[in-house]
Structures are given as C-alpha cells and as structure tokens.
Structure 1
Amino acid sequence: MIELHQLLMFMAAGWLLNLTPGPDVFYMLSHAARQGWRAGLVASAGITAGCMVHVTAAALGVGALLAASATAFSVLKWLGAAYLLWMGVQMLRSKNNSKLMAPADNAPGLTETGSSLARIFWGGFWTNVLNPKVAIFFLAFIPQFIAADYAHKSLAFAALGLLFNLNAIPVNMLWVWMGAGMARRAGWLCKRLHWLDRTAGAMFIGFGLKLALTDKPGA
C-alpha cells in the first residue's frame, strides 16, 4: 500500500501540520492552562474523536460529497462558523474561573467533575466535526499516499486516517503540557484567567469569521 519512506514522510507531514496553531490547538491550550492537564487531555480526546468522524466520512465518500457539492459544504461551513463564534462569545462573557484550578502545589485539573470534563470533550468534538475544512483536508492529503492501482482505496484511506490521528497524539500532548505548564509556573495566571478566556474567545471568533468567509475549495 505504501513504502517505508512514504510512510515516514506521511508521519513527518502529520507532525508539522498538527504543530500549526488553529481552533483545535487553542481549544486544548486554553483548557489546559485554565483547568490543568486533565482538562487538556480530555479536550485532546474530543478533538481526536472528531477527526475520526472526518476520516470515516471521507473513507465512505461523504468527504467527496462535501468537495463536490457547494450546498453541502456551505451548510457545514455555516454550522461550524456559528459554533466557533458562539464559543468565542461565551469565552468573552465568562467570569474569572480561578476556582476551577487546583492550588499551585497540587496537580492541576484533579478537581474537575465528570460533567465538566464531558462538556470539554464534546466541545472539542464539535469544534472539529463542524469544520468542513478538516474533511476537505483529509480528502486532499491522504490520497497522495495511496497507490493509484491499489484495489482497496477506502480501506487504505481509513488506515492512513487512523495513523494520522494516532500520530497526532504526541503533538497534542505537547500542546497540553505547554498549557498546563502555564498554569503551574505562572502564578499571576490564576488572577488573570478572564484575560486568557478573552484572548481565546477572540481567537475563536476570528476562526469563525475566517471559516464563514472561506470559499468552497476549487470554486
């Protein structure tokens, strides 16, 4: 299906792409910085689950539909933009959440409740799923590593998509570690969490506006 040097190139490209800041990265960073490593890991898990939806859909042909249909792309684009804008507004309106953070001498995030972690997971999931650019990315990126004469292209697509998501885990852990490190090492952050919320909120609004203004690829 794929030679070793192509596989290594695929993995290296995946690492570089996952190091590029975007809505998913800021989602992980903001939760890890505000609520500790556990919240960051849950955010990462939600985003990974969202990516698997895109991979499965693209392998089944839904990604091709999004690429070919302006209507389908527009519907998902506006849903995704609305969700990112909604998240940004909620962050801008949030109050100081320093009570959610553990004391500096304890491991951050240990006081998270199951319900709040579930909200973080599903927030990351929908942030990823409602972004049609992710679906188009998988549809454009992965086929480059599948031989044209390979008989089981859907199976190969799914396998490479799974590898891409597994390959992203170390990078996501790095982002979470960086975010949690901010919470541990910067004591002033606990007193200024509302500014972190507002910064992240402004970023999400920016991503939402950028997505809303995105034309269908190839249009």
Structure 2
Amino acid sequence: MHQWFLPLLAFTTAAAIFTITPGLDSVMVLRTAASDGRRAGVGAIFGIAVGLSLWGLAAAFGLTALLAASSTAFFIVKCVGAVYLVWIGANQLLRPRMALTTEAGPEQARQVEHRNAFWPGFRRGMLTDLLNPKAGIFVITFFPQFIPPATDVVAFTLVQVVIQVVLTFIWLGLLVALTVPLAQFFNRPVVVRRLDRLTGLVFIAFGAKIFLTDSPSS
C-alpha cells in the first residue's frame, strides 16, 4: 500500500466535512446561482476553485507563510477582503431588487447577458476566496497535519489541493443544481427583497468576522 494512501484518505474525509460546513463560499454560490442563474453559479464555483488553487500553490511553495509571519501583510489582506464583502452586503441590504432577473429589453440582449453571466460569477467567486486571508491560513495550518514524514511536501500538498478543489466542485455544484430549479420561487418580489437583505447581512457579518480575525503572528 502506498504510504500516501492512508494520509490522503484521512485528509479527504476531514476536508469533506469542512467543505460541506456552511460558510462564505456556500453563501456566495447560492446567492449567485439564485440571482443570475446556472451559468453564473458555475462561474462562481470555478472562481472559488481558482482561488483555492492559488492559495494551495502559495502554501506548497511557502508564500502563504508570509500571512502567518507578518502582521502587516495579514492586516492589509483582511482589510481589503472585509471591505469587499461589506460593500457587496451593503448594496444588497440598502438596495434590494424587485426581481432576480430582468424581463425588460430585447430577447437578444437577455440571451447575451445570460451567456456572459459566467464571468461576473467567476470574478466574484475568485475575489471572495483570494481576499479572505482565513482561506490561506486554513491551507497552511490544516493541510500540513496530514503530510507523512519523509515525503515530498510540495508534491503531497499539490495532491491535497486537487482533492480540495474536486470536493469543492462536487459540493458547490450540488448546491447550484438544487438552487436553480427554485428560480421561479426566488423570483417573487417579496422573496427577492428578503433574500437580498438577508444575504446582505450575511456578507456584512462575514466581512466583520474577517476584519476581527487576529493574525497568527500576533
């Protein structure tokens, strides 16, 4: 039996539990899929996966150690991430919409908007993940616990990144699949207003939580 099998099995089990635990990524994907459709939701998943991959690559090559070692670097990243989330949340809280999708405009324009919805979702998902320093700290503190001794750390970490990304795709993809069929319900004006305000509060809360997070070096 390969010496990596049991450590990777343990990592996959633990990572799966963390993945399905409700958090910022789940809220972001649900909100994006409900508001802008399946393409945008899938785009958000790909953006989150890219963000996770970049954090994982940084961890593999030691770059995220900067966040753990430097209070200044950690403070800058967490402030940018907190401001970004609070800005999104405040917009949804103060300016809730009457409908999740617009019915106005030519049919061709609506089709183009729908077709291009992938990239706004992608950008939102990637920025949400990259501007969350807790994601980087999670990678550099959680992943090494499963690395066996006398192992190529970079190679093992890269395998862990692939596993985490696959788990993320599976779980968030399931959320999108369950959300999109409910689009007609979500498109009711009263539901839209309440959904916008609720998710706005959630994003603001996540932003505050990130801002109040202490640097590991402090």
TM-score normalised per structure 1? 0.86
- Give 1:53 deviation, angstroms: 1.2
Which residue in 1 is equivalent to 2:148? 147
For the Cα contact (< 8 Å) 1:28–1:44, is it kept in 2? yes
Residues in 1 aligned to 2:65 and 2:136: alpha-carbon distance in whole angstroms: 9
Secondary structure of 1:32's counterpart equals helix
Q: What count of residue pairs does the alignment treat as equivalent?
A: 209
Q: Answer with 71-80 or 3-12: which moved more.
A: 3-12
TM-score normalised per structure 2? 0.87
Which residue in 1 is equivalent to 2:196? 197
Identity of aligned residues (%): 34
- CA-based RMSD: 2.2
Q: 1:158 and 2:158 equivalent? A: yes
Which residue in 2 is equivalent to 1:97? 99
What is the correspondence of 1:116-131 to structure 2 with a 5 Å cutoff? Answer: 116-131=117-132
- Structure 2: runs of 5+ lacking an equivalent: 104-109
- Give 1:161 deviation, angstroms: 1.2
- Give 1:207 deviation, angstroms: 0.3
For the Cα contact (< 8 Å) 1:14–1:168, is it kept in 2? no
For the Cα contact (< 8 Å) 2:39–2:114, is it kept in 1? no
Which residue in 2 is equivalent to 1:104? none
- Give 1:80 deviation, angstroms: 0.7
For the Cα contact (< 8 Å) 1:63–1:135, is it kept in 2? yes
Matched residue type, 2:172:
N
Residues in 1 aligned to 2:114 and 2:183: alpha-carbon distance in whole angstroms: 18
Q: 1:36/1:114 Cα in 2 relative to 1: closer, same or farther (>3 Å)? A: closer
- Structure 1: runs of 5+ lacking an equivalent: 102-108
Which residue in 1 is equivalent to 2:133? 132
- Give 1:110 deviation, angstroms: 7.2
Secondary structure of 2:88's counterpart equals helix
- Give 1:9 deviation, angstroms: 1.9
Residues in 1 aligned to 2:114 and 2:136: alpha-carbon distance in whole angstroms: 32
The C-alpha deviation readout for 1:11-48, integer Å capped at 9, x for no partner, is 12121111111111111011112233222111111111
- Give 1:203 deviation, angstroms: 0.4
Matched residue type, 1:190:
R
